[in-house]
Amino acid sequence: MRSRSRRALALILALFAAPATGAELLGRHVWSPEIAEAGGYSALWLGPDGAEMVVLSDRGGWVRGRLERGPDGAVVDVRIADRGMLQRSTGGPLRGREKDAESIARVGDAFFVSFEGMSRVMRYPTINAKPEWIPQYESFATLPDNRGLEALAADAEGRLYAVPEWPPGRRETFPVFRFADRRWSTPFNLSVEDSYMVTGADFGPGGRLYVLERKLTISGFRSRVRSFAPDGTDARVELETRGGVHDNLEGIAIWRDAAGRLRATMVSDDNQLPWLQTTEFVDYVLD
């Protein structure tokens, strides 16, 4: 191939991979762990340094470890420290439809996990411990089958915010369920735009709520990150990709790096179809 042709091809590929908004793509790392039942990772928690990691699969598995990052700050490797299966409150691993873990948030030393198949939120004192039952919301029972609690985030005060993958019934907005003082409420709703579905959420260090969304197109998955003020107002599109740039991004963590940059790290759910999809860690700079 001639040099001019190679440069033209590189430019085309770069344009295809670039996000449709001003966010900067730092890198993409495909992860192929050689462990039983790998894949299906739909939830991501990161420590403040962007290295300490917990991921959950929608088959009820968890992996704890560290993300190794290169000079530009993008993930280049994953170091597994421990792994296992989420437990039932009565002991033993989750069964059947109980397993469908979709999102994770940390409050103090405890992890809260939201589940989609049987919509609920549970508190895990440690990720490998038996969970503690917390009050559930009657509205969870109205969520569509396989379109239940998909996103969970905790604000600086330890309040939980849960969002379903798709609005229940004929609603045209995503209800946001908040757990505070041992009670659930629905303080606000988020708009549905361009048929995007919710897949993950996290609060950033500045207090804004970041919501990861996905849309399947003929060219592949499109991903979008919107941010909101804590009361659901002031919606901003922080990141939007073209179809096929990334796989099925479902877990998101928002953090600030040592250089002061606001970062979004995301993980994709390969639906445990490694011959068709990939598990990838994706890093963006949002500001």
Show the domain range for 44.
20-285
- Edge to edge, what strands does the sheet with 262-268 contain? 24-30, 280-285, 262-268, 249-256
Q: Is residue 247 part of a domain?
A: yes
What's the pLDDT at 144?
80
Q: Which residues pair with 40 in a beta bridge?
A: none
Q: Is residue 11 part of a domain?
A: no
Report DSSP letters for 33-88, one per residue.
--STT---EEEEEE-TTS-EEEEEETTSEEEEEEEEE-TTS-EEEEEEEEEEEPBP
Burial (CB count <10 Å: 0-12, 13-18, 19+), residue 88? middle
End-to-end CA distance of the chain: 38
Among the listed residues 189, 247, 193, 190, the one whose alpha carbon sits nearest the alpha carbon of residue 223:
247
Task: Please give the tally of structural domains in the chain.
Answer: 1
C-beta separation of 165 from 197 below 8 A? yes
Compute CA 226 distance to the chain's CA centroid, rounded to the nearest angstrom: 13
Q: Is residue 9 part of a domain?
A: no
Q: Is residue 2 part of a domain?
A: no
CATH number at residue 80: 2.120.10.30
Query: Tokens at residue 96, please?
Result: 């059947």
SS3 readout for 256-286: ECCCCCEEEEEEECCCCCCCCCCCEEEEEEC
What's the pLDDT at 20?
56
Query: Tokens at residue 35, please?
Result: 């462990």
Q: Is residue 4 part of a domain?
A: no
C-beta separation of 9 from 16 below 8 A? no
C-beta separation of 190 from 161 below 8 A? no
Q: Is residue 12 part of a domain?
A: no
Q: Which residues pair with 180 in a beta bridge?
A: 183
The three-point CA angle 39-48-28 to 5° equals 40
What's the pLDDT at 246?
96
Q: Is residue 41 part of a domain?
A: yes
Question: Is the alpha carbon torsion for 59, 63, 68, 74 positive or negative?
Answer: positive
Residues in CB range of 114: below 8 A, 6 or more apart? 101, 102, 103, 104, 120, 121, 149, 150, 151, 152, 162
Report DSSP letters for 174-217, one per residue.
EEEEEEETTEEEEEEEEE--TT-EEEEEEE-TTS-EEEEEEEEE
Residues 177, 159: Cα–Cα separation, whole Å: 10
Q: What is the pLDDT along the chain (287 residues), one digit of tens a residue?
A: 444 444 443 343 344 455 656 799 999 999 998 887 889 999 999 999 999 999 999 999 999 999 999 999 999 999 999 999 999 999 999 999 999 999 999 999 999 999 998 999 999 999 999 999 999 999 999 998 778 999 999 999 999 999 999 998 878 899 999 999 999 999 999 999 999 999 999 999 999 999 999 999 999 999 999 999 999 999 999 999 999 999 999 999 999 999 999 999 999 999 888 878 999 999 999 98
Q: Is residue 174 part of a domain?
A: yes
Question: Is the alpha carbon torsion for 282, 148, 97, 87 positive or negative?
Answer: positive
